Amino acid sequence: MKKIISLLLVFVMVVTLVGCSGSKGTAANSTLTSSANPAPAKKDDMEIAVVLMALNQDYWHLIEAGANSAAQELGIKVKVVGPPVETDVAAQISLIEDCINSGCAGMVLAPTNPSTVGPALKIAKDDGIPIVCVDSDLDASIADDLRLTFIGSSETEGGQLVGEYLVKNYSPDTVVGVIRGPLGAVSHNERVKGCQDIAESKGFKFADIQDGQCDRALAMNVCENMLEGHPEIKVLYCTNDEMAAGAYQACVDKGREDIDIIGYDGSPDCLGLIKDGKVTGTLAQSPFDMGYEAVKILYDTVKNGKFAGESTTLIKTQVIDKSNAVEYLDSLRTKITNAIGKCWF
């Protein structure tokens, strides 16, 4: 099947990037596999494709682990792929097309862009391949037509929880800086707006909002420049954990360890920083559950020939700080070990 990407489409994709949680890496099939011993269900030839935004950080590997766990229970195969970086829309579309051409029975997709993946997904639909979106949804204009359901959290509500955490733990005269994902990225727009709406209504001031591209090294540079321009900042809100880790290192380098840092995602690396008192908190999602439920839904849909579920399944989120980080991290490790037989963090 011919590729659908044109030069015009690539240009559009570059300027309308959506959603991210990671840093640089290489495009590849994942090497994270299950080593658990429980006997799987009766073997099945079904293979589900899992196309993520990238495979360069733990957040995406948690979705992968959930998908692997469900596949093991069901006795089917999953093929997990992702582009080099979360902002590489063209690479993700190419991977979607490759999975379609390989004859996958269904597809789990974390779309990098909510609309430009549409033409590729139309091909999947025409070929009878059901799709479940995780983490980020498609544009509302095409979602109901091209995917069965969306499994993820409300980014706006997540941002609001961060805003409520600010209101509860800091005085209204506290100055906040924000390091966010790519400008125009819908998920990061909502994470910022949700937080601002709550905090600003209580008198909090947001001194600066800068794009850190969901990249740890870039976030370090952005943070250093932000603190030089706004030394009055006392709290940094980073709309993913990779940027929170980068901001922490920048604060150490600048001798500003008095600044509190709040991330977003609940990645193991950031949870470790919280446990050690280096980062203040993070808004934890449940990526393992996203991957697990998505594969189960696709399996049932393929087997039964129909989907009877809801259009959206929201996963609960919560703020993790030092008061509950150890318990949360231990629980996550146990969950991963029980599911796939090992935990990599």
For the chain, give every domain's residue range: 16-153+287-314, 155-284
CB-based contact 51:104 (threshold 8 Å): no
Phi and psi at 58, nearest 5°, equal -60, -30
CATH fold group of domain 155-284: Rossmann fold (3.40.50)
User: Average pLDDT in the 289-308 region?
Assistant: 96
pLDDT confidence of residue 87: 83
The fourth-level CATH superfamily of domain 16-153+287-314 is Response regulator (3.40.50.2300)
Which tokens in the block code for residue 113?
């862009």
Q: Which of 22, 151, 5 is nearest to 89 (CA)?
A: 5
Distance CA 284, CA 262 (A): 11
**Diameter of the chain measured on Cα atoms:** 61
Determine if residue 184 is left, alpha or beta; phi over 0 gives left, psi from -120 to 50 gives alpha, anything else beta.
left
As beta bridge partners, residue 179 has 210, 238
Q: Is pLDDT of 141 > 90?
A: yes
Name the pTM for this structure: 0.85
Q: Is pLDDT of 149 > 80?
A: yes
Which tokens in the block code for residue 211?
């794009």
CB-based contact 263:293 (threshold 8 Å): no
Lay out the sheet containing 175-180: strands in order across.
205-211, 175-180, 235-238, 260-265, 281-284, 318-321
Q: What is the mean pLDDT of the chain?
A: 89
Q: Is pLDDT of 12 > 50?
A: no
